[in-house]
Chains A and B, each alone.
Chain A
């Protein structure tokens, strides 16, 4: 039996090659994911070990109390540092300072969206900062170093003078002496970092305490006990090795998220690959009916026939998984090279390796999926009766819709669509409803899978309508052929449907999110400019808003103030506003808030468990605990703080605080450039005060969405590619089956180009069927998902994008047909007529 299996493999080399490619791509993606994340993890741990090796013992402040989220991060005191330095066995001890030290860009405005972090760079053996060019600040209080990325974005070079604000927002100048690499510290990579001597760092950030104290010395274990005895209660003392482990775990969590995210796409790809394999083996078995029957005639048992197919699939599985592992290694290496080329804030130092775990996982997944997908076809093969060997011609496969199939499909579709409907329309938007919609999607998909063969004929008639008219006889024959073997066509197209469904879903969700957010923004406050500090704190002098209000170029100026307070144990943001703002009220009325009244953001009201009419105790700074009557609930997109009170009351509770935000609208007819100048002039004196225009904000939001859409679409592209292999495969198998038919058509006067066109149109029709079903499913579930996620969401169908998906699917189908069509057209008529 092994021999016949091998002979079978050899006879169907080309077709099996296409099949293997499907598995190779799927396994390659999964292996590539592991190679990439393993390499990143290795890079992280190299860095971490290098850093932590310098430290014998580290002291960390107690963890932030989760019950008190508003609290400042706990720090270690300077006196502790002194005490530790005095301990026997301690050769050196350094406190690590970290706080805000906004760097000013060349335009005089604070650089970046977040205030730059100011950190201390220790000198001596305990220096854990990696300087990549120039030197560290050493003991020079007038020197500073910047992280590479910030230096690059803002055009600073070693030798330049940089300006940094201290905590009083006073500007100080420093000489840039070097560039640092933030390493595995994601916070620094995010905010950007400017490093000083410890003294300067304390002066600039205003931080008196330390985030960590590193101790050098021999025998870490003994040192740990000594340090622990001297440290404040609650502070945590760890050895360098333990510190490394902790940092590695943090980094691991991040790479884990990446792994899981990428594996989802790998899973989709493998699912599609499984369909492709299932289909290929099914067709191969159908074509080899006589061969199987002959084997049975000469005495092969059913088990042997079954086994020979499984052996065939196992060989395909192993070969393609091995190729997949190689592909994965290549993918991982290429991705690392790209990350390196773009200076991504990730450790790219480690060498790319294929770990034993990856090899085992890759081989197992590839083998299990291939053999699993071949099980049903193998069972079909055992059903071949020995007499089939004697029949002259393989019968044309007929397909009738069974009652069971119809009932099953109806049940699945009803359940799936019903669940989606409930999730979208009945349940409150949130994770639970989204989950229900997703489950509904999966069930509906199963329904479509069952119903597929029934759908193929009508759908091919539908999408074939134009090709029929356009391409004459070849077109008509092609459309007929596409629906000729409904089961086969359905499996082929469903593979494509998966990818197109997901792509459509994602693009519907992003488009809907876009219009929903835009609509809500417009509704709330069609603001042209938003003035806020980098920290979004209450520190905009009120004079800024007041002077803007007097400008004739501006129509509306709204000043918003807020501060944190507590209600019971819950920290809340209490604020007020001045100016023409119509808050979006979801319950009650917020018109003319009187003393003792409060409007609450709906989600916060839910958290606090209050409704309109209830009273809410709030502890204020100046007026003690006041009881406020809830008169209105506000929509969650409102720019107002979670608790909004009248202005005089706010002043009474908290004093005359500066503004946290100023919202500005241009008067109609005033050019944007002119208004912008007015606003810029009013804010020029305050470097941390940044002006965002609504078009900029929306542009950034759009860019982020576009980016997400692009990445996801790119990753789904793999599934699409595999499904195209499926189309090519089915087509080439069909071409093989129809050798004599093609020869007959050629004899009757069909030219080679016409024959090629016929196959292209058939593939086009298959591609379009797959795409149409995908677009329908993706549209419906995209709508449901949007409804399930966002309250009062607007639904938007990105028609252009979807039309593009459909067109590309059709085109891709045609591309998939190129090789099979060429082979069919090349075949000699006489030779093919003689073929059996």
Chain B
């Protein structure tokens, strides 16, 4: 079997069923998620799209165990997140999840290399040196490893963050607007790097974005609108994503 076929037959990495999230109470109630059913295939690069305020970040936070949903279930692999205490959730994040945030991804006191190795050290695991070298090579950061975040450009910082997420071989990486703060060239670099890590390392990535260009790097795009999953696109192009968005908003 080819890598692609294995992936096709593998169970999904993340599954959400009937996910709702309500913020606030009384008049101030906001339904950020209204019953979302979604599955993210193992070894695939999936983008979550939608207009601002549609609930993308909320969905990601609930999927990643950073926040608890009001109702519904989330599975990461075979583990159900619902009802796990803070400690179990923390350990789960440590073992199975990687993160890339929009900004402030790195600890300013640590060098790039220390930042990359941080999750492994928190977990008390040793880095897979072959993987480390490969990741560093792909990200193209070899000569930047000793630098601190303030000495790196925005794009370089995000690449360090991606490298950090990859190094612990998580079951899934969640990226929330990873290119939101970057110029288009650096953004493209980070995105192609994300895509190649899916292709070459078999990494599962779920990326939140509102940029059609960014979404087009994914294998599949799911669209959120007002807290509901409205549609999805396979093998998206910038144009098809844009069209779908126009249709949703229009």
Contacts and interface: CB of A to CB of B under 8 A. Distances in A.
Interface in A715-760: 740-741, 744-752, 754
29 contacts: A473-B122, A477-B107, A477-B109, A477-B110, A480-B109, A481-B109, A744-B104, A744-B105, A745-B107, A746-B90, A747-B64, A747-B66, A747-B101, A748-B93, A748-B99, A748-B119, A749-B95, A749-B122, A751-B87, A751-B90, A752-B86, A752-B90, A754-B122, A828-B67, A829-B66, A830-B67, A833-B66, A833-B101, A833-B104
A473 B115 CA distance: 12
B124 interface: yes
B118 A751 contact: no
Contacts of B146: none
B87 A752 contact: yes
B128 interface: no
10 smallest CB-CB distances across A and B, nearest first, come from: A749-B94, A480-B109, A751-B90, A830-B67, A473-B121, A748-B119, A749-B122, A829-B66, A740-B104, A749-B93
Contacts of A740: 104
Interface of A: 393, 395-396, 472-473, 477, 480-481, 484, 740-741, 744-752, 754, 828-830, 833
B230 interface: no
Contacts of B104: 393, 740-741, 744, 833
A472 B105 CA distance: 21
Nearest to A483: B109
Contacts of B99: 747-748
A833 B103 CA distance: 9
A477 B109 CA distance: 8
Contacts of A477: 107, 109-110
Nearest to B94: A749
A396 B86 contact: no
B91 interface: yes
A795 B123 CA distance: 51
A395 B123 CA distance: 30
Interface in B46-91: 61, 64, 66-67, 86-87, 90-91
A749 B107 contact: no
A396 B150 contact: yes
B109 A744 contact: no
Contacts of B91: 749, 751
Contacts of A749: 90-91, 93-95, 119, 122-123
Nearest to B67: A830
A486 B92 CA distance: 36
Given A396-B108, A477-B109, A477-B110, 13 more contacts: A477-B107, A481-B109, A744-B101, A745-B122, A747-B93, A748-B118, A749-B90, A751-B86, A752-B86, A752-B87, A828-B67, A829-B66, A833-B66
Nearest to A834: B57
Interface of B: 61, 64, 66-67, 86-87, 90-91, 93-95, 99, 101, 104-105, 107-110, 118-119, 121-124, 150
Contacts of B67: 828-830
A745 B67 CA distance: 15
Nearest to B107: A741
Contact of B61 (A744, A751, A830): A830
Most buried by A among B86, B95, B99, B109: B109
B87 A473 contact: no
Nearest to A754: B122
A396 B86 CA distance: 31
Contacts of B124: 472
B109 A748 contact: no
Contacts of B108: 396, 741
Contacts of A750: 90, 122
B164 to A, nearest CB: 8
A396 B148 CA distance: 11
Contacts of A828: 67
A395 B119 CA distance: 25
A480 B64 CA distance: 29
A745 B123 CA distance: 12
A484 B109 contact: yes
A754 B107 CA distance: 16
Contacts of A481: 109
Contacts of B109: 477, 480-481, 484
A768 B121 CA distance: 26
B180 to A, nearest CB: 12
A752 B86 CA distance: 8
A829 B108 CA distance: 18
Contacts of A480: 109-110
A790 B118 CA distance: 57
A109 B67 CA distance: 82
B248 to A, nearest CB: 25
Nearest to A474: B122
B155 to A, nearest CB: 16
A259 B64 CA distance: 64
B146 to A, nearest CB: 15
Contacts of A484: 109
Residue with the greatest number of chain A CB neighbours at <10 A, chosen from B86, B94, B99, B122:
B122
B118 A473 contact: yes
